[in-house]
A and B are shown apart, each in its own frame.
Chain A
Amino acid sequence: MLTAPTRYNKFYERKGTAWFEINTLNFSQEDAHKVFNVEHADDSVDIVCKVLDNEVKALGDSRRIFIGGFSAGGSLASHAWKAYKKPLGGLVLYSATSFRALETAKEQENSSVFWAHGLDDCLVPYKHCFYNNKALEDGKRRFVHIKRDGLGHGVDRVVELETKRFLEDIMGLSKL
Chain B
Amino acid sequence: MNPMSNSIYDVTQEGTTITLSPKGQTARQTLVFLPGWAESAATWAPYFLKGKSTPRVIFL
Contact = CB atoms under 8 A, between A and B. Distances in A.
**Size range of the chain A interface in the assembly:** 35 or more
Interface string B18-54: 0000000001111111111111110010010001111
Interface residue SS majority, chain A: mixed
A18 B38 contact: yes
Contacts, number: 116
Interface residues of B, number: 28
B37 A71 contact: yes
Contact of B38 (A12, A52, A167): A12
Contact of A65 (B14, B32, B34, B47): B32
Given A4-B60, A155-B47, A167-B55, A69 B36 contact: yes
B16 A73 contact: no
B35 A66 contact: no
Interface of B: 14-17, 27-41, 44, 47, 51-55, 58, 60
Given A1-B15, A176-B52, 15 more contacts: A2-B17, A2-B60, A3-B15, A3-B16, A17-B37, A51-B32, A51-B58, A59-B27, A66-B30, A70-B33, A70-B44, A74-B36, A163-B51, A167-B53, A167-B55
